[in-house]
Amino acid sequence: MEAALAEELGEIAQQSTTMRVHNQVPGGVHCSGSLVDAYRINLHSRIASRVLMRMGQRSYNNENDIYDLVLEQPWEDWFGVNHTIRVDVTAVKSPLKSLEFTTLKIKDAVCDRFRDQFNKRPSVNTREPDMRIVGFLDQRNFIIYLDTSGEALFKRGWREETGDAPLRENLAAGMLRVAGWKPGVPLFDPMCGSGTILVEAAQMVQGIPPGARRRFAFEKFADFDREAWAALKAEIKPNPIPSEPTIFGSDISGDMVAMTRHNLKVAGILFDVPLKQIEAQHVSPPTSAPGILLTNPPYGERIGVRGDSTVPQDEMAVSFYSALGTTLKQRFAGWTAFLFTADLQLPKLLRLKEARKTPFFNGALECRLFRFDMVAGFNRREEAKPKQEQ
């Protein structure tokens, strides 16, 4: 999602005179600016997982080099000895033998810095720390960061209920961007589960920033600028409520439909998002104008919510996707359908040729966002005929 994130950060930077977006790197995007810009990104980015502030960077040969760099950082300028900490380390092709030992050295360096100055050490809390410190190692270089976000940014603060495997909110937002969806364009999720895609889209329509109803680690920083933060939040201007629905959802499970309805309400959505309980292979377009169908089809078990338990799962999936492919071809002419899945055989199961496939990672799971351009079957057959000579 790096390209989608870079594009989004470019839009956020337009609200600031100091923020600059730099290069994309695997797993992230570098940008620079004032501390208030970090507040701004935390408040407005739908796609980022965390906003990390770079404290120091250096080449290294061993764990002692890492310890020395961390010890040099003025941690006491940012947080106090009574704040709890957690250290996480990520590495790509690092020659060091043990990441656990490296993590321990970073923690020791932070604690030793405080002990040298105040004769006291901060405590470690791995579950709900006040401050998260993040180390990144490649083959030669080590970077140490202080996390300005706290809880990962996909935790928007509205989710109380979820299905078995809810889509992360920032992944749903990334998919909406890659699909080219914009508020006003009809959007339909026929397998909405707990409604993550619909909630993300509805908040965008209403102008609710993703960070509007949660707390951040930067609020505990020593020089937290309360007035600047209040001013940023005061700039939030909700969009007018749409008079006609443009976002629609359905699911085979009535419980899921009820959960989506609840999640939309908790997320502060004030307009109608029509929802239906219906099997995906029986749906029809919810609007006369074509739009975007975007969904994360269930794997295995949820296909069989109402299925026959005597039928093996694979056969059930094959017949389900075959019927869904037929529905898309026959009823959704003019629509662009996007299906997000870990099953790379999906186009074959649907008997459709994808127009594009975008690789995504859902945690460690490699997935694809398949795009299908639904052309009217009749027109396609007509175009394929040889032209009659006059």
Residue 55 C-alpha from the chain's centroid: 25
- At how many degrees (to 10) do helices 196-206 and 169-178 cross? 70
As a whole number of angstroms, the distance between CA 189 and CA 248 comes to 6
In contact, 174 and 361? CB cutoff 8 Å: no
Q: Amino acid letter at 190? A: P
φ, ψ at 257 (rounded to 5°): -60, -45
Please give the biggest Cα pair distance in the chain.
Answer: 96
Give Cα separations from 328 to 13, 168, 187, 279, 341 (angstroms): 39, 26, 15, 13, 17
List average pLDDT for each run of 10 residues in the chain, which is 390 residues long.
96 97 94 98 98 98 97 98 97 94 98 97 97 96 98 90 75 96 97 96 97 96 97 95 96 95 96 97 96 86 45 74 96 97 92 94 86 74 48
In contact, 153 and 43? CB cutoff 8 Å: no
pLDDT value at position 383?
A: 45
As a whole number of angstroms, the distance between CA 195 and CA 62 comes to 47
Q: Which helix (H) or strand (E) holds 47?
A: none
Residues 6+ apart with CB under 8 A from 45: 5, 8, 9, 12, 51, 153, 210, 211
Q: Which helix (H) or strand (E) holds 10?
A: helix 2-13
In contact, 82 and 122? CB cutoff 8 Å: yes
Residue 65 C-alpha from the chain's centroid: 35
What does the DSSP assignment read for 268-300?
Answer: T--S---EEE--GGG---SSSS--EEEE----G
pLDDT value at position 363?
A: 75
Q: Which helix (H) or strand (E) holds 340?
A: strand 336-341
Nearest partner of 95 among 64, 58, 62, 69, judged by Cα: 62
As a whole number of angstroms, the distance between CA 103 and CA 109 comes to 10
As a whole number of angstroms, the distance between CA 81 and CA 8 comes to 36
Residues 6+ apart with CB under 8 A from 14: none
Nearest partner of 30 among 11, 46, 14, 54, judged by Cα: 54
As a whole number of angstroms, the distance between CA 312 and CA 320 comes to 12
pTM: 0.90
Q: How many CB atoms within 10 Å of residue 154?
A: 20
